[in-house]
Amino acid sequence: MKPLTHAEALTIMRQEIFRIAPEADVDGLATDARFREVLELDSLDFLNLVEALTERTGARIDEEDYASLQTLSGSADFLVARTADRATAS
């Protein structure tokens, strides 16, 4: 898989959050907002999001990486870096 761009990673984040929480106003969510708090995602929702992101992007996401997944922008940055790392390792 090729590395993601920031725009692609943001789109994936929004799609997967909406899939997990269809009632959420994902389009109105600021990229620097702490989405778990704003959208009231519980721990199970967040774990489902992490699993979905791993499946969609092929990026390995460990528990110590969760701090990078607090905002849409931070999550996109993480996914861009992780998919770039994976691409250079292959």
Query: Where are the domains positioned within the chain?
Result: 6-89
Mean pLDDT of 46-52: 98
Mean pLDDT of 26-47: 95
State the Cα–Cα distance between residues 67 and 1, nearest whole angstrom. Answer: 25
pLDDT at 90 over 70: no
Mean of pLDDT over the chain: 94
Q: Give which of 44, 43, 11 is closest to 27, Cα–Cα.
A: 11
Say which CATH architecture domain 6-89 belongs to: Orthogonal Bundle (1.10)
User: What pTM did the predictor assign?
Assistant: 0.91
Strand partners, 34: 71
State the Cα–Cα distance between residues 13 and 4, nearest whole angstrom. Answer: 12
pLDDT at 33 over 80: yes
For residue 34, report the phi and psi dihedrals to the nearest 5 degrees: -75, 95
Q: Give which of 83, 50, 43, 44 is closest to 69, Cα–Cα.
A: 50
